[in-house]
């Protein structure tokens, strides 16, 4: 039975899992769980993941959620996956676990908190929350600095000094792509000071093309819609965000 | 060269790593990094972990932080560690990664946010924050419910249906021990509805005694001090918490 991947391409961890499967030639079926329609709360999906979050997979009798756990599992379960994604070497693997664990309460927390409270909340009918956004932006900024100064230290093009991408690069770069939803000036303000981070994102894109671009198409469509709504709102003088929809 | 563990036993992930080493007969040197003295910000420690967090380890040329990554590494690097802590079986291992990843943004986030903002903030000179505490308590409550209804589903005494403890049990149970710092009534209110969670904590304690109790002694001393300060405060009619110190 073919691997099933339950995902919404607007979710950054969903994109990481889909890109990973495509890059590694893993035969899978993608099942869309539309977050905008709250499909993650359907009884059918909660039977796969009772936490009501995407992505999740079903592989034979295994039901699994949490994207890092999924990427780790796929790296080991599918023999065609090249070693650099999740190295057998104990020390390299330990460092990858370290950056993946760090991700949760740093880059991920900051990105989600900032982008949601500063930009996306009205899309699901909630008000923007400047205080929460400010907290998120602080965590996000500090996380980008740490990637620049620590995780990308050394001569390697990828995280923890590697010359080839790992599941950590894919996971964290998909996270940074969420910043595309911000206003251009804001995004440049955040990313501008971090030259190594910018190069690393480009290197990860290059290593996973054309799949990276294809899987991110939907994100850029949403970006376009947000911009249209915003300029319409600006010209009519009304707030646009409450009319923005994800699809 | 002997494994070095940099830790403060008041930090729940530090305790998990220390207990793991002791239970598995790993020869290690424990180096105390006193959080109350802000020793995690010293240049010496930031050379080990630039994120200024405990625990961290040094094993030969490897410097590693993030407790889950450390527990995973130690399970693989020390051949004396029994398989049940971090099973070789791919499916069992995947489930353990899933619960460890889930931990970050759920049980851990809720516990830290609630216990700190409701009880410990004055210890480091910050005011209590009832609004943040309420948010933390909600996440904590929901996390305990999910452990009860999902992670402890089935007949196994431990997480994900196992009959023997894994690194996930140790990590999550050490987290729940932080609730000992709450007032008794509050703690019972949180834990009371969750019979399986209570049994699981007992099973994990039993499987790791006498080390579990010994490593938690310092937590119970702090609890005692907090209670003393509180009753002194109550009898003198003044707020006690700002006089409470961790040591």
* ipTM confidence: 0.93
Q: Does B190 fall in a domain?
A: yes
Question: Is residue A244 included in any domain, yes or no?
Answer: no
pLDDT attached to residue B232: 79
Q: What is the mean pLDDT of residues A139-162?
A: 96
Same domain, B47 and B129: no
Do both A55 and A109 map to the same domain?
no
Instruction: Identify whether residues A35 and A124 lie together within a single domain.
Output: no
Q: Report if residue A186 sits inside a domain.
A: yes
The verdict on A50 touching B (C-beta cutoff 8 Å) is yes
Q: What is the pLDDT of residues A195-233, one digit of tens each?
A: 999 999 999 999 999 999 999 999 999 999 888 887 877
State which of A81, A116, A135 marks the end of a domain: A81
Strands A3-7 and A28-32: parallel
Q: Could A104 and B102 be called an inter-chain contact, meaning their C-beta atoms sit closer than 8 Å?
A: no
| One domain, residues B44 and B130 | no
Angle (CA) A104 A199 B47, round 5°: 55
d(CA A66, CA A72): 10
Using alpha carbons only, give the angle A109, B112, A144 rounded to the nearest 5 degrees.
25
Asked whether the bond before A210 is cis by omega within 30 degrees of 0, the reply is yes
In a domain, A247, yes or no: no
**Count of beta carbons in the 10 Å neighbourhood of residue B228:** 12
Among B205, B203, B149, B157, which Cα is nearest to B177's? Answer: B205
**Residues B116 and B227 both lie in one domain:** yes
| Per-residue pLDDT reduced to its tens digit, B172-228 | 999 999 999 999 999 999 999 999 999 999 999 999 999 999 999 999 999 998 888
Task: Count Cβ neighbours within 10 Å for each residue of B15-31 and write b for 16 or more, e otherwise.
Answer: bbbbbbbbbbebebebb
Contacts of A55 in chain B (CB under 8 A): none
Q: Does A134 touch chain B (CB under 8 A)?
A: no
Yes or no, beta carbons of A150 and B50 under 8 Å apart? yes
Given a cut of 80, whether residue A16 has pLDDT beyond it is yes
Count of CB contacts below 8 A, A vs B?
78
DSSP three-state, residue A49: coil
Q: Is residue A245 part of a domain?
A: no
Please give the torsion angle defined by the CA atoms of residues B107, B109, B112 and B115, in that order, rounded to the nearest 10 degrees: -70
A244 pLDDT more than 50: no
Q: Count of residues for chain B? A: 247
Res. B51 pLDDT band, cuts 50 70 90: very high
Domain hosting residue A72, numbered range: 3-81
Residue B148 lies in a domain: yes
- Comparing alpha-carbon positions, the chain A residue that sits nearest to B73 is A94
Residue B231 Rama label (left phi>0; alpha psi -120 to 50; beta) = alpha
Q: What separation in angstroms does the CA of A138 have from each of A17, A144, A160?
A: 28, 10, 23
pLDDT of B231 strictly over 90: no
Whether A114 and A228 map to the same domain: the answer is yes
Rounded to the nearest angstrom, the gap between the alpha carbon of residue B135 and the centroid of all alpha carbons in its chain is 20
Same domain, B135 and B214: yes
Do A60 and A100 lie in one domain? The reply is no
A64 & A97 share domain: no
CB proximity A129 to B under 8 Å: no
Q: How confident is the model at residue A168 (pLDDT cuts 50, 70, 90)?
A: very high
Q: For residue A48, is it within any domain?
A: yes
Task: Look at B68 and A101 and tell me if their CB atoms are within 8 Å.
Answer: yes
Report pLDDT digits (tens) over A36-66: 899 999 999 999 999 999 999 999 999 999 9
Cα of B8 vs its chain's centroid, Å: 11
CATH label of the domain that carries residue B185: 1.20.1050.10
Touching check for B39 and chain A: CB below 8 Å? no
* Strand blocks (E) in A48-194: 56-59, 62-65
Residues A108 and A210 in one domain: yes
Element (H, E) at B32: strand B28-32
Q: What is the pLDDT of residue B203?
A: 98
For residues A116 and A218, membership in a common domain is answered with yes
Q: Give chain B's domain count.
A: 2
Domain end, chosen from B81, B105, B120, is at B81
Residues A145 and A224 grouped into a single domain: yes
Residue B243 falls within a domain, yes or no? Answer: no
Examine the fold and report which residue of A62, A81, A100 is the final residue of a domain before the chain moves on. A81
Average pLDDT (B48-53) is 97
Contact of B24 with chain A, judged by CB distance below 8 Å, is answered with no
Domain with A28 in it: what CATH number?
A: 3.40.30.10
A194: nearest Cα among A176, A220, A182: A176
Interface test with A, best of B17, B62, B98 (most A CBs within 10 A): B98
3-state class of B60 per DSSP? coil
């Amino acid at each position: 039975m073919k691997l099933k991947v339950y995902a919404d391409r607007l979710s950054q961890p969903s994109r990481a899992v889909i890109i990973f499967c495509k890059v590694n030639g893993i035969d899978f079926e993608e099942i869309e769980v539309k977050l905008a329609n709250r499909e993650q709360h359907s009884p059918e999906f909660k039977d796969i993941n009772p936490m009501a979050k995407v992505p999740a997979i079903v592989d034979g009798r295994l039901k699994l959620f949490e994207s890092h756990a999924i990427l780790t599992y796929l790296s080991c379960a599918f023999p065609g996956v090249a070693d650099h994604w999740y190295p057998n070497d104990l020390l390299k693997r330990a460092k990858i676990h370290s950056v993946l664990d760090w991700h949760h309460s740093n880059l991920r927390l900051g990105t989600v908190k900032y982008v949601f409270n500063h930009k996306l909340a009205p899309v699901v009918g909630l008000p923007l929350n400047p205080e929460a956004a400010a907290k998120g932006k602080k965590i996000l900024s500090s996380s980008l600095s740490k990637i620049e100064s620590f995780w990308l230290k050394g001569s390697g093009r990828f995280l923890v000094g590697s010359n080839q991408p790992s599941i950590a690069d894919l996971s964290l770069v998909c996270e940074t792509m969420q910043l595309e939803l911000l206003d251009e000036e804001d995004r440049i303000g955040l990313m501008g000071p971090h030259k190594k981070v910018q190069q690393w994102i480009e290197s990860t894109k290059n290593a996973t093309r054309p799949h990276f671009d294809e899987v991110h198409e939907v994100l850029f469509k949403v970006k376009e819609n947000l911009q249209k709504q915003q300029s319409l709102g600006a010209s009519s003088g009304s707030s646009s965000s409450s009319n923005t929809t994800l699809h």
